[in-house]
Amino acid sequence: MGKLELKNLTFQYPDAAAPVLENLNLTVEEGEFVCILGASGCGKSTLLSILEGLREPTSGSFLINGQEVIGPGPERGVVFQHYSLFPWMTAKQNVIFGIKQVRKDLKKKQLEELAQSYLEKVGLGADGNTMPAQLSGGMQQRVAIARALAMDADILLLDEPFGAVDTRNRRTLQKLVCDLHEIEKKTFLFVTHDVEEAILLADRIVFMTPGHIHQIVDVDIPKPRDYEQIRNDERFVSLRKMLIDLFYEKYADYTLDSMEAKL
């Protein structure tokens, strides 16, 4: 069960002049894969922190399966934008720690095996005993993904999880996320600023302008999708063009040129 609803959700940082999120309304059905797309600073991470239960909305509400939510819960697995492993635990200990919080019944050996299987899923089967500081940024992020998946939550909240991963590994991980979604029918909320990634993964794309949901776009390309196969697909190409145009239009005064001018 993993239906997610936002009702008139508004959020303002305590000392800020204006709200970062204003009157958001969104329903994500159980088992759906939704990508949140928007430029840097438009409030994607802030929105996710509310869904993670780390921040409370200033007004409006956030419901899971019709129930208002306060704080984090075992039905939600999280991968942060920043690296978030515990630096004093090995990669595997990090995953085990995550599992232990939701599965109190498992013995040490079962925990080990489960953690190992998730590390293998993200391609780090051989790196279980490495400390996070000895892993590259992308590898750390993959361990964080393994940790979130291992919790076996109904809803997965991922904030630009592949931002620091190179193209080849990114494709592998995108495929992994696709497969997991196909097999396990979990609800995915996936933040990205990569238009192609959004089209590849999502059932629906939520396009954000600063503080607002501007438009929700359905992706009518049958799943499973393979990047090499669909990238010349007509629907892919036109959707891609549409979203990129939207970026240019909505963030017209937000280009790198204007940023440089400010500096």
Ligand X SMILES: Nc1ncnc2c1ncn2[C@@H]1O[C@H](COP(=O)(O)OP(=O)(O)OP(=O)(O)O)[C@@H](O)[C@H]1O
Binding site for another protein (CB under 8 A): 52-54, 71-74, 76-78, 80, 82, 84-89, 97-98, 101-102, 131-133, 144, 147, 151
Told to check if 54 binds ligand X by CB under 6 A, we report no
In angstroms, what is the minimal distance from the CB of 54 to ligand X?
A: 11
List Cβ neighbours of 15 (8 Å cut-off, separation of 6 or more). Answer: none
Buried b (16+ CB within 10 A) or exposed e, 96-109: bbbbbeeeeeeeee
In angstroms, what is the minimal distance from the CB of 69 to ligand X?
A: 19
Told to check if 18 binds ligand X by CB under 6 A, we report no
| Antiparallel, parallel or unpaired: β 204-209 and 33-37 | parallel
Told to check if 98 binds ligand X by CB under 6 A, we report no
| Antiparallel, parallel or unpaired: β 4-11 and 21-28 | antiparallel
In angstroms, what is the minimal distance from the CB of 258 to Mg ion?
A: 20
Q: State which residue, 32 or 160, has the beta carbon closest to ligand X.
A: 160
- From 8, 25, 27, 40, residue interacting with ligand X (rule: CB under 6 A): 40
Told to check if 161 binds ligand X by CB under 6 A, we report no
Total residues binding ligand X (CB under 6 A): 13
The contact set with ligand X (CB under 6 A) reads 13, 16, 20, 38, 40-46, 81, 193
